[in-house]
Amino acid sequence: MAKQKNYFITGTDTDAGKTLVTCALLNAAKQQGLKTLALKPVAAGSEQGLEGLVNRDAVLLSQEMTEALPYAQVNPVLFDAPVSPHIAAAKEGRRVSASQLAGYCRGALMKPADLRLIEGAGGWRVPINMRETMADLAVELQIPVILVVGMKLGCLNHALLTAGAIARDGLPLVGWVANQVDADMSCFEENIQSLAEMLKAPCLGIIPRLDKPTDFATAAKYLNLSLLSD
């Protein structure tokens, strides 16, 4: 994998496994001796941390990446309620925009690293205000996309719709990861084969249902970072 690679991580749905895959990518890169960092520009859903309110996913990213960043840079916008960002913002009398989030990201991305990941919130078209979605942030940054497919009934439709939207927004889909969220999914292998044939990007890995969802070292074993090479 070439140096200084930046990717935007999106998912087919909420709970598709974006944080699992992002942390697994960070872990796999770390095992290769690469320097890594990751950002969660906007998060909805807070809990009390040692030094104030934090988002659990953002904390996991901070723990897994090799380069230290202040929490406020990893997750510059945090809402209390675990709902869509535009609804959470309205409840708190706040407003967030794609250009604002992009500015936060550019500041944090000034720190050098071999692999730098930006994890979205929810899916590709999750609103951040009444006019913009998470997709507008990725477009603003002009960053290639990795798609996390939550493997469950309906995932083919969700994956193809998301891939089509990414293409229409003018960004490259450089890879996808299958994450088995439904341990009893029918026709699992057939669905994987369908995605492999229909998505115009390499499959970076297939992560089975894990006993411990934060076992990022195990998840990393199922990923192939070399497929992200130029």
Per-residue pLDDT in tens (0 to 9) along the chain, 230 residues: 546 799 999 999 999 999 999 999 999 999 999 999 999 999 999 999 887 999 999 999 999 999 999 999 999 999 999 999 999 999 999 999 999 999 999 999 999 999 999 999 999 999 999 999 999 999 999 999 999 999 999 999 999 999 999 999 999 999 999 999 999 999 999 999 999 999 999 999 999 999 998 999 999 999 999 998 65
- In this prediction, residue 25 carries a pLDDT of 98
- In this prediction, residue 21 carries a pLDDT of 98
Q: Helices (H) and strands (E) in the chain — how many of each?
A: 9, 10
Q: Supply 102's token pair.
A: 């992009």
End-to-end CA distance of the chain: 7
- In this prediction, residue 229 carries a pLDDT of 63
> Is the torsion defined by CA of 15, 162, 41, 115 positive or negative?
positive
The 3-class secondary structure across 189-201, one letter per residue, is HHHHHHHHHHCCC
Map out the domains of the chain as residue ranges. Answer: 5-224
Q: Supply 10's token pair.
A: 């999106």
| Closest by CA position to 65, among listed 28, 39, 42, 38 | 38
- In this prediction, residue 1 carries a pLDDT of 53
Say if CB 139 and CB 170 are below 8 A apart.
Answer: yes
Neighbours of 210 (CB within 10 A): 18
218 CB burial (10 A radius; 0-12, 13-18, 19+): middle
212 CB burial (10 A radius; 0-12, 13-18, 19+): exposed
Domain covering 5-224 in this structure, CATH number = 3.40.50.300
- In this prediction, residue 51 carries a pLDDT of 79
Query: Which residues are known to be catalytic?
Result: 40
Q: Which residue has the tokens 């590709």?
A: 124
Torsion angles phi and psi, residue 229, rounded to 5: -65, 150
Residue 37, helix vs strand vs coil:
strand
Strand-pair partners of 116: 6, 37
Neighbours of 226 (CB within 10 A): 10
Say if CB 139 and CB 10 are below 8 A apart.
Answer: no
- In this prediction, residue 3 carries a pLDDT of 65
